[in-house]
Amino acid sequence: MRALLLTALAAAGCWTSTPPAAAPASPPTHAAPSGPVPRVRWIDNWLEAFDLPAVAADGARVVFAQREDDGGRGNPNLALVVEGRDGTVLERRVVMSPDEADTLFDASGMKPELRERIAGANQWLARLHATHDLRPLSLLDTHNDPQGGVAGGTARGQGLHVEWVPSRLVIRHEAKVVVDTPTPASWFAPDRPTCDGCPPCSNPAYLAAAHADAERRVVLLTISYSGTDLCWEPNSQHHVVSW
């Protein structure tokens, strides 16, 4: 009886069978990284980073090299840092600190431990590149006055105009304001006492460099500080800014 009812419904055009389920789509293939693989090298008793800073193809993170100024010693040193778009540090790998310089190389060159550290850092960078397809950021044309005693600076390129004054950071893209934010107090170096009756040690901040990828809406700012032989400048800071 049920078979007769289904036959009648089908004949009347009031019933259709459920179509077979569609085959699952093939998983997307992971495109090979298109940019150069960032690398660390030891050149003339100094650690150099190549093709950094860089941004992931999806714009989610920025990788850059960080150095300590190390005052009068000026020892070679390098750390590799990964930050998210909001400036949060996601990973940090120290290749060599300033205090390790005397134990990791000498007049004859690199010692085995430093060679191993550089190899490990390059393997780490290669994995990041394979996973995130790192693209080098472009260096913008920066204007500043390190000896002027006034914080700030400007940078231009890729249709971007970065303007940093002591109180505010403004970034325009194609004349449209995309970032307008107060300067965090942490960007400045507080004055430090020197000796009784002496003026305080002051290190005015300035915009030392700006790297950017306008397509991925991200800028990496390098904030540095003026100093003297009696008032060494603090380490430079790097800040990821996105919109």
pLDDT per residue over 80-132, tens digit each?
A: 999 999 999 999 999 999 999 989 998 778 899 999 999 999 999 999 999 99
Residue type, 103: T
Token pair belonging to 176? 């449209």
Residues β-bridged to residue 239: 221
Q: Which helix (DSSP H) or strand (DSSP E) does residue 120 occupy?
A: helix 112-132
Give the DSSP letter of residue 47.
E
Mean pLDDT of the chain: 87
Q: What is the predicted pLDDT for the residue at 151?
A: 72
Q: With beta carbons less than 8 A apart as the criterion, state whether 41 and 50 touch.
A: yes
Pick from 143, 140, 142: which is nearest to 159 by CA?
A: 140
* pLDDT score, position 109: 83
Q: How far is Cα 175 from Cα 159, in angstroms, rounded to an integer?
A: 8
CA dist 92 and 79 (Å) reads 7
Tokens 């971007």 locate to 160
End-to-end CA distance of the chain: 68
Residue 240's DSSP bridge partners are: 220
Question: Higher model confidence: residue 194 or residue 141?
Answer: 141
pLDDT confidence tier of residue 3, bands split at 50, 70 and 90: very low
Question: Could you say which DSSP state residue 228 is in?
Answer: B
Sign of CA dihedral 205, 206, 212, 217: positive
